[in-house]
Structure 1
Amino acid sequence: MKEKVGRALKAYPIQFQPEMKERVWGGRALEKFGFQLPEGVIGEGWMIGDHPNGTTKALNGEFAGLGLDEIREQHGSTLFGTKGFSAKTGRFPLLIKLLDCEDDLSVQVHPNDHYEHLAVGELGKTEMWYILDAKPGAKIIYGMKEGVTRDSLAQAIAENRIMDCLEEVEVKAGDSFYIPAGTVHALGAGVLVAEIQQNSDTTYRLYDYNRPGLDGKLRELHIEDSLNVIAYEGSGSTRMTTDMKDAGTWLTLAESPFFTVEKGLVGPKWELSTTLESFTILVVAEGTGKLTWADGDLALKPGDCFLLPANLGSYALEGSMTVIRSYLP
């Protein structure tokens, strides 16, 4: 489909209908954000997605009813910015999710863009997590213990003692984790997470607690692929607590070749602007307020995710909120 030409397109913040995904480890906590969930245990809300396994449709404004893929095809170079496409797939380069972990996720690892066994048209997966909420004592798996090698990990897997090789970390709301491709990781029960990642749906499972999936059968493991893509000498993963006191400043949570993610405190009004190089994605983590731009305004509440086009220009955030901002570096 060719991009449309003609009258000038008025940019505005676009909100999408989430694609809800049932997962064996999911729950119903995403209802707290006001989402209407389908039946079942819902683990993932794909909030902004342009992937064969989940493409979100716009809810508001001129693009209402159009998928992100259709918006990309019609107006992508204008709205997404000069950097706003995956060089490999041509698609929107990021996937934004909210995750409800009622149970432990599988122990897993993701490949990079160059892994030879990637599915055709699929990217690698570097991602980051911002912990929106966590029950007392909630933990995640984040990396491996020092000195673990491919051979020692393979032996531990064969002997059903992989957990001996992994690092567990207790988490609380406001913690942030950068997870480059090659990092062994798993979210634990009792956490609610905002995830910013490459536009990929490739996951290699190392261990799944010998539990049945939604179909009653054990889920597939991907031991050889996992052993191939793990970064045994370190992936460059970083973690941080993100306590902030001053409104109107950005704290960098993650910087990668694929995205920059920052946390900001809003109050009472913050004047901002997009650039023509990249779209901006805003996720409201806490609080309420308003997003205003030249042609309108929108009320904001926790769980809201907006795509701000690169050509939006000046906008403002008002109220008392914590927001997560993502854009292309």
Structure 2
Amino acid sequence: MSIKPYPLQFKAEIKERIWGGRALEDFGLELPPGAIGEGWMISDHPNGITRVANGPLQGLGLDQIREAYGSEWFGTRGSSASNGRFPLLIKLLDCNDDLSVQVHPTDDYEDLPEGESGKTEMWYILDAKPGAKIIYGLKEHMDAQTMTVAIEEGRIMDTLHEVNVKAGDAFYIPAGTVHALCSGVVVAEIQQNSDTTYRLFDYDRPGLDGKLRELHIEDSLRVIAYDGAGASRMDTTNMAPGQWLTIASSPYFLVEKGLIQEKEAAAATKDSFVILMIADGEGHLRWEDGELTVRAGECFLLPATLGGYEMYGALTVLRCSVPAS
């Protein structure tokens, strides 16, 4: 029996992290005990494959759906060129403490782990405590030699650019950009389907096992884009209802933010799936064969063959698709 396409919601893969907390409970996630740093909301990565939580495909992993339906559901641009998997990984992050200072490689880095792609990503700040900040790139006139000396002398923090953040800020972080989320923020992250991170600095703190976490200085210094990789930031707090604003555009994903106060009609296309992440509010998602109640913290994967759909209610939505190459 063929399954008619419908919006897929997944059970989040929960990740305990030394820097995590409990804030993801406020976004509807059921958390086990511990310091929970990440909820992988939509994932086809071997380190955490999400399973469908609704409808006829309930219980199936995203990898199984990919294998069964392929480009019919995900679109002609719906697989990674490097490994054939679903191309994106969607997360919620609770930064109760500072994350490590880190950098990600590009697709063409020669020492990528087998089966991995590079990792370009974007952040949308869902919540931020007063005074919250992130590390976002290097200060001017930094090169590999300057960074090496600073690391050897314990002065790496002197090389980093810090910025204050608030809810509604969006950051585009191409591979090669040194970055770190700091304490006091909850973030929606949209990224390439990769789990490769090179740590430059981790505050000399023990991990969950009581041991210092591994640093990757050599790899980091090789993949940093010292002249910049095209990182950008945007304040989206002054948007008007009914407006859609592009907040991140890359070869891997296009992310728009929309404010819905009544009703918004749209349609999926055969080129790409659509991911809807509800950043705030509550409302409904309706398509030809059904309707779902949606609320802040939930994510939905709309198949490329879904056709027309509507969202209505009082909602702040992040809408993501794969752009034409």
Q: Quickly name the TM-score band, shorter chain normalised.
A: over 0.9
1:8 Cα offset (Å) = 4.5
| 1:246 Cα deviation after fit | 2.4
Partner residue, 1:178: 172
- Supply the distance in 1 between the matched residues of 2:68 and 2:239 (Cα, whole angstroms): 42
SS in 2 for 1:114: coil
C-alpha contact 1:125 1:180 (8 A) present in aligned 2: yes
Deviations 1:183-239 (A, max 9, x none): 000000000000000000000000000000000000000000000000001110000
Q: Which residue of 2 aligns with 1:104?
A: 98
Find out whether 1:219 has 2:213 as its counterpart. Answer: yes
Q: Give the alignment of 1:138-149 within 5 angstroms.
A: 138-149=132-143
Displacement after TM superposition at 1:34 (Å)? 2.1
Structure 2 residue 91 is the aligned partner of structure 1 residue 126: no
Q: Distance in 2 between matches of 1:251 and 1:183?
A: 23
- Can you give the 5+ residue segments of structure 1 that lack an aligned partner in the other structure? 1-6
In structure 2, the residue matched to 1:187 is 181
Total equivalences in the alignment: 323
Percent pairwise identity: 66
Q: Deviations over 1:290-322 (max 9, x none)?
A: 000000100011000000000011000000110
Q: Which residue of 2 aligns with 1:34?
A: 28
CA contact (8 A) 1:244 1:265 kept: no
Counterparts of 1:279-318 in structure 2 under 5 Å?
279-318=273-312
8 Å CA contact retained: 1:50, 1:92: yes
CA distance in 2, matches of 1:121, 1:86: 11
> 2:42: which partner in 1?
48
How large is the RMSD of aligned CA atoms in angstroms? Answer: 0.7
Structure 2 letter corresponding to 1:32: D
Per the TM alignment, residue 250 of structure 1 is displaced from its structure 2 partner at its CA by 1.1
How far apart in 2 are the matches of 1:119 and 1:245? 41
| AA matched with 1:160 | G
Q: What is the deviation of 1:87?
A: 1.2
Unaligned runs of 5+ in 2: none
Q: Secondary structure at the match of 1:44?
A: strand
1:256-287 Cα offsets, whole Å, 9 max, x none, are: 00000110001200111111100000100111
Pairwise CA distance, 1:77: 1.5
4+ long deviations beyond 4 Å = none
- Looking at structure 1, the residues matched to 46 and 311 of structure 2 have their Cα atoms a distance apart, in angstroms, of 33
Contact 2:3 2:56 in 1 (8 A): no
Counterpart Cα distance in 2 of 1:244 and 1:270: 19
TM-score by length of 1: 0.97
